[in-house]
A and B are shown apart, each in its own frame.
Chain A
Amino acid sequence: MTPDQATPANPTIDRVAPRRSRMKNMFREILKAPITAKFGILVILIYGFVAIFTPMLTPYGETEIVGPEFDVWGDTFILGTDGLGRDMLTRLLFGARNTVGIAFLTTVLAFLIGGLTGLFAAIYSGWFDQIASRIVDVLMAIPQLIFALMLLTIFGTSIPTLIIVIATLDATRVFRVTRAVSLNVVVLDYFEAARLRGEHIFWLCIREILPNITAPLLAEFGLRFCFVFLMIAALSFLGLGVQPPTADWGSMVRENAVLITYGDITPILPAIAIAVLTLGVNFLVDWFLHKSSGLKDGH
Chain B
Amino acid sequence: MVLQRFGLGLLTLFVVSMIIFVGVEFLPGDIAEALLGQGASPESVAALRHKLGLDVPAHTRYIDWWLNVLQGDFGTSLANGRDIAELIKVRLANTLFLALVAASVSVPLAIIFGILAALYRNSLYDRSVNVLTLGAVSAPEFLVAYILILYFSVTLGWFPSLSNVDANTTFFERLHRVALPAVTLTGVILAYMMRMVRASIINLLASAYIEMAHLKGMSKLRVIVKHALPNAWAPISNIIAISLAYLVVGVVVVEVVFIYPGLGQLMVDSVSNRDIPVVQACSMIFAGTYILLNLTADIVSICTNPRLLHPK
Interface residues of A (CB under 8 A from B): 36, 137-138, 141-147, 149-154, 226, 230, 233-234, 237-240, 250, 253, 257, 260-263, 265, 267-268, 271-272, 274-275, 278-279, 282-283, 286, 296-299
Contact = CB atoms under 8 A, between A and B. Distances in A.
Main secondary structure on B side of the interface with A:
helix
B109 interface: no
Given A143-B249, A144-B249, A234 B131 contact: no
B17 to A, nearest CB: 10
B16 interface: yes
Contact-size category for B: 35 or more
Given A257-B146, A298-B196, A150 B279 contact: yes
B235 to A, nearest CB: 11
Contacts of B252: 145-146, 149, 234, 238
B203 to A, nearest CB: 7
Nearest to A39: B131
Contacts of A274: 139-140, 143
A265 B26 CA distance: 43
Given A36-B131, A138-B19, A282 B138 contact: yes
A149 B271 contact: yes
A144 B246 CA distance: 10
A146 to B, nearest CB: 5
A299 B238 CA distance: 14
A141 B137 contact: no
B287 A141 contact: yes
A207 B130 CA distance: 37
A230 B19 CA distance: 25
Interface string B193-209: 00110110011000000
Interface stretch (B87-95, B96-104, B147-155): B147-155
A275 B287 contact: no
B183 interface: no
Nearest to A154: B23
Given A143-B245, A261-B149, A263-B155, 19 more contacts: A142-B290, A143-B286, A143-B287, A146-B249, A146-B282, A146-B283, A149-B252, A152-B271, A237-B140, A238-B256, A257-B146, A262-B154, A271-B140, A271-B146, A274-B140, A275-B139, A279-B138, A286-B134, A297-B203
Contacts of B198: 297-298
Given A137-B12, A150-B23, A278 B138 contact: yes
Contacts of A153: 270-271, 274, 276, 279
A146 B287 CA distance: 8
Contacts of B199: 296-299
Contacts of B282: 146
A272 B267 contact: no
B256 A297 contact: no
A268 B20 CA distance: 35
Contact of B143 (A137, A272, A296): A272
Nearest to B286: A146
Contacts of A271: 139-140, 142-143, 146
B58 interface: no
Contacts of A147: 283, 287
14 contacts: A138-B16, A141-B12, A141-B291, A144-B249, A150-B283, A154-B24, A154-B276, A230-B140, A233-B140, A239-B268, A260-B146, A260-B150, A275-B143, A297-B198
Contacts of A238: 252-253, 256, 268
A297 B154 CA distance: 40
B12 A138 contact: yes
A23 B141 CA distance: 39
B20 A265 contact: no
A88 to B, nearest CB: 16
Given A143-B290, A234-B142, A275-B143, A299 B196 contact: yes
Nearest to B192: A299
Contacts of A143: 245, 248-249, 286-287, 290
A152 B283 CA distance: 13
Contacts of B274: 153
Nearest to B135: A279
Contact of A142 (B16, B24, B138, B150): B16
Contacts of B130: 286
Given A143-B245, A150-B20, A263 B150 contact: yes
A198 B272 CA distance: 54
Nearest to A137: B12
B146 A282 contact: no
B195 A298 contact: yes
Contacts of A145: 249, 252
B161 interface: yes
A275 B138 contact: yes
A261 B134 CA distance: 28
B267 A149 contact: yes
A267 B134 CA distance: 23
B248 A268 contact: no
Q: Which of B202, B203, B279, B291 has the most chain A CB within a 10 Å cutoff? A: B279
Closest 4 CB pairs of A and B: A298-B199, A271-B143, A278-B138, A279-B138
Q: Which of A137, A150, A151, A262 has the most chain B CB within a 10 Å cutoff? A: A150
B294 A268 contact: no
A260 B198 CA distance: 36
